[in-house]
Each structure stands twice: as C-alpha cells, then as structure tokens.
C-alpha cells in the first residue's frame, strides 16, 4: 500500500469535534487551505472551479473503531461503510467545499466541516458531469427519523 503524505493543512474555526458541522453542505463556515509550497504548481487552474473536494485525515479520530455505528442523523446502528461516521479503519474524510479564492498556495473556501489543523491529503475539482448522480436508493438515510 502506498504511504500517504500531507500536502498541506486545513485551517477552520472548528476547534471542538462536538461543535463541528456534520457535513460541508450544512456549513457556511469559512476556512483556508495552506498547500505546502512544493505543491503550489499543482494548483494551477484550480481557481477556475467553483467547488472542490478536500480529502483529508481525521487526525483527531482517537476513538476506537467499531464496524457498527450510530451515524449523526439516525439513532439505529449501521455498518460503518454505510455511513460517513469519522471513526473508521482508515481515518479518511472528504468534503465538497465552495472555493472562493486562490492566492498562490492559499485556498479560501466556504463549507468548513473539519477541525482546525486537519492534514490535507489531496484536492480534486468537483465536476457535475462526473460527480452528480440521480441516486435511486439512499439506504437508511431515506428512512431515518427526521431532525
């Protein structure tokens, strides 16, 4: 397996897990991504996209991993791979955020749902032709108890 290395760090106002939004689509919080200088060239053209994927490590995921979890929007147990629960065998997270600007190696965005200091592993552009599906089934989420 390839070894992962951080390409930058994500800065957000979120310092406590319990106060962090559960998904980027439910957050209007601003954040910045500081891409390490040696990767700045790889950002060329990214500012032409309105939304990007941030792929990162759940670096504060110190709770023991369980294969059955209670996701944030349901009170029943589900397999961890059928949820977006942060305590996973491989502590990887992703968020689709709205890119608001790029200044050299600093990206500003809206939709912060990760903790301050989160290690960034990768960035990908959000492209609706590739990333939007007419989902026929949404599993437990469809039948959850409403908030």
Q: What is the pLDDT of residue 21?
A: 63
Q: What is the pLDDT of residues 124-142, one digit of tens each?
A: 999 998 887 787 777 777 7
Residue 64 lies in a domain: yes
What is the phi-psi region of residue 82: left when phi exceeds 0, alpha when psi lies from -120 to 50, beta otherwise? alpha
Residue 2 lies in a domain: no
Q: What is the pLDDT of residue 77?
A: 92
Q: Taking the model in full, what pTM does it have?
A: 0.85
Residue 128 lies in a domain: yes
* Structural domain for 77, as ranges: 8-142
Residue 116 lies in a domain: yes
Q: What is the pLDDT of residue 146?
A: 60
Average pLDDT over residues 1-7: 88
Residue 137 lies in a domain: yes
Residue 147 has pLDDT above 60, yes or no: no
Residue 133 lies in a domain: yes
Residue 101 has pLDDT above 70, yes or no: yes
CATH of the domain at 26: 2.40.30.70
Q: What is the pLDDT of residues 15-35, one digit of tens each?
A: 776 776 666 666 778 999 999
Residue 3 lies in a domain: no
Tell me the residue ranges of DSSP E strands in the chain.
8-11, 30-35, 51-57, 68-69, 78-79, 92-103, 106-110, 118-125
Length of the chain: 147
Residue 96 lies in a domain: yes
CA 119 → CA 54, 69, 131, distances in Å? Answer: 10, 24, 24
Tokens of 94: 């992703």
Domain total of the chain = 1
Tokens of 38: 């040696």
């Amino acid at each position: 397996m390839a070894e992962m290395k951080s390409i930058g760090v994500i800065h957000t106002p979120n310092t406590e897990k319990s106060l962090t939004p559960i998904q980027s689509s439910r957050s209007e919080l601003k954040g910045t991504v500081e891409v390490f200088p040696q990767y700045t060239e790889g950002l060329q053209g990214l500012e032409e996209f309105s939304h990007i994927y941030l792929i990162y490590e759940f670096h504060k995921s110190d709770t023991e991993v369980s294969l059955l979890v209670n996701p944030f929007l349901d009170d029943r147990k589900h397999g961890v791979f059928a949820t977006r629960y942060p305590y996973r065998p491989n502590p990887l997270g992703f968020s689709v955020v709205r890119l608001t600007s790029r200044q050299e190696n600093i990206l500003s965005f809206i939709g912060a749902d990760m903790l301050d200091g989160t290690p960034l592993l990768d960035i990908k552009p959000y492209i609706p032709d590739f990333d939007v599906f007419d989902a026929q089934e949404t599993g437990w989420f469809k039948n959850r108890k409403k908030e």
